[in-house]
């Protein structure tokens, strides 16, 4: 007999997951319009109030290159303020459960994070990034892999001494938007290198939506065979082919328990145009059509996870509301279908029922629950040729 319980088929399937949100950083960095500081604070707060405990809120790189983050210190200062801590307390949130992350691609950014921590407004966690494909790595960091690894090792030591965590990102696992196909085994080795030099956890990133679900399952099975502690691994999927939900399912089947997403599926390469002015960003975009750039959508991911019966800790309806507000903030339709169509309601939508059905059944002498003619057998008999 076929086994119908997928949790038995995939015994590594988790009962509970952690979903971090990176809207205020990754989601906003791709927009060619400045999102106000007040709006960034609003969405950071509301995501936390809705259940987010791991949130990435800014980039501490040079604001001349990425002016979207010129308000980095103001955002961090607010999230460290007594006022915000009191609001968390009133809502029953243990402030110490929050992990606030800032991206720090290069050493100067790490130094800035440490200085902010000394002022009492720094992040809990920094993030540095390597790509297994060196052209993509060079486009992001401006240096070679050997030079960057040495820099990352120095930075992790600095962070450890300052009481900061450092997440190491591995990108181009399933392919590079510049050089094409890559080898999964390279990303496993890069992961080990990050942990060898002291990274607190690893973001495994599909930054251009190259992943297919079989390769996602294969890769994360390889990772967990070698490094079985699931708390070390975060899945980061971009959505360019409308298959990221399948990648999430494959990662779950492999045993991954930590994911990242953005409201509305926003995100991508830092903008090189902001409001009315060209800006450096990270140079020319490495894609043809910006409509197909972004991360997996938080709203849709939560509905998917929730309807699988997996615990996640979010108020889903509140996040769907936030998704609708975000469309007003950015002035365009975003990717979430759940924010528009809502969740699947077990009670259905009685308001759409056509009048007169039960009256017609009564007139015909049918039972209200009757589905087939009364002269038929109560149990269907499958023809011999169709039986297993």
| Coil vs helix vs strand at 75 | helix
Residue 105 pLDDT > 90: yes
Q: Where are the domains of the chain?
A: 10-341
Position with higher pLDDT, 175 vs 292? 175
Average pLDDT, the chain: 95
Question: Residue with structure tokens 């950071």?
Answer: 44
What is the rounded CA–CA span in Å between residue 91 and residue 75? 20
Residue 60 pLDDT > 90: yes
pLDDT of 374 reads 92
pTM recorded for the entire structure: 0.93
Percent of the chain beyond pLDDT 90?
A: 85
Residue 291 pLDDT > 80: no
Can you spell out the DSSP letters for 216-285?
HHHHHHHHHHHS--GGGEEEEEB-SSS-HHHHHHHHHHHT--EEEEBGGG---SPPSEETTEE--TTSS-
- pLDDT confidence bin for 288, thresholds 50/70/90: confident
Task: Give the domain 10-341 fold.
Answer: TIM Barrel (3.20.20)
Cα dihedral sign, 299-305-308-312: negative
Residue 10 pLDDT > 80: yes
pLDDT of 312 reads 98
- pLDDT confidence bin for 211, thresholds 50/70/90: very high
Is the distance from CB of 241 to CB of 287 less than 8 angstroms?
no
Most trustworthy range by pLDDT among 126-140, 284-298, 339-353? 126-140
């Amino acid at each position: 007999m076929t086994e119908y319980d997928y949790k038995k088929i995939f015994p590594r399937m988790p009962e509970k997951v952690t979903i971090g949100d990176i809207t205020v950083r990754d989601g906003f960095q791709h927009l060619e319009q400045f999102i106000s500081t007040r709006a960034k604070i609003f969405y950071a707060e509301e995501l936390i109030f809705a259940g987010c405990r791991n949130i990435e809120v800014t980039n501490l790189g040079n604001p001349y290159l990425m002016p979207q983050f010129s308000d980095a210190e103001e955002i961090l200062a607010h999230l460290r303020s007594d006022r915000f801590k009191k609001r968390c307390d009133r809502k029953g949130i243990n402030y110490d459960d929050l992990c606030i992350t800032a991206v720090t691609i290069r050493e100067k950014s790490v130094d800035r994070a440490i200085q902010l921590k000394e002022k009492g407004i720094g992040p809990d966690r920094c993030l540095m990034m390597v790509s297994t494909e060196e052209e993509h790595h060079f486009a992001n960091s401006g240096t070679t892999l050997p030079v960057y690894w040495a820099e990352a090792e120095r930075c992790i030591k600095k962070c450890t001494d300052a009481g900061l965590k450092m997440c190491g990102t591995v990108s181009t696992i399933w392919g590079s938007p510049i050089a094409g196909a890559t080898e999964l085994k390279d990303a496993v080795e890069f992961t080990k290198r990050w942990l060898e030099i002291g990274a607190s956890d690893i973001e495994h990133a599909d930054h251009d939506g190259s992943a297919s679900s079989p390769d996602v399952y294969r890769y994360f099975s390889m990772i967990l065979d070698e490094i079985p502690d699931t708390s070390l691994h975060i899945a980061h999927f971009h959505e360019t082919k409308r298959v990221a939900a399948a990648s999430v399912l494959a990662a779950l089947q492999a045993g991954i328990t930590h994911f990242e997403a953005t409201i509305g599926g926003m995100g991508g390469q830092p903008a090189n145009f902001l409001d009315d002015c060209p800006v450096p960003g990270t140079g020319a975009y490495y894609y043809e059509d910006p409509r197909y750039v972004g991360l997996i959508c938080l709203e849709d991911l939560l509905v998917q996870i929730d309807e699988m019966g997996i615990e996640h800790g979010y108020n889903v309806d509140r996040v769907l509301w936030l998704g609708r507000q975000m469309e007003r903030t950015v002035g365009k339709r975003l990717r979430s279908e759940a924010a528009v169509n809502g969740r699947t309601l077990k009670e259905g939508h009685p308001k759409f029922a056509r009048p007169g059905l039960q009256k017609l059944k009564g007139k015909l002498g049918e039972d209200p629950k009757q589905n087939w003619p009364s002269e038929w057998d109560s149990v269907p008999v499958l023809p011999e040729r169709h039986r297993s």
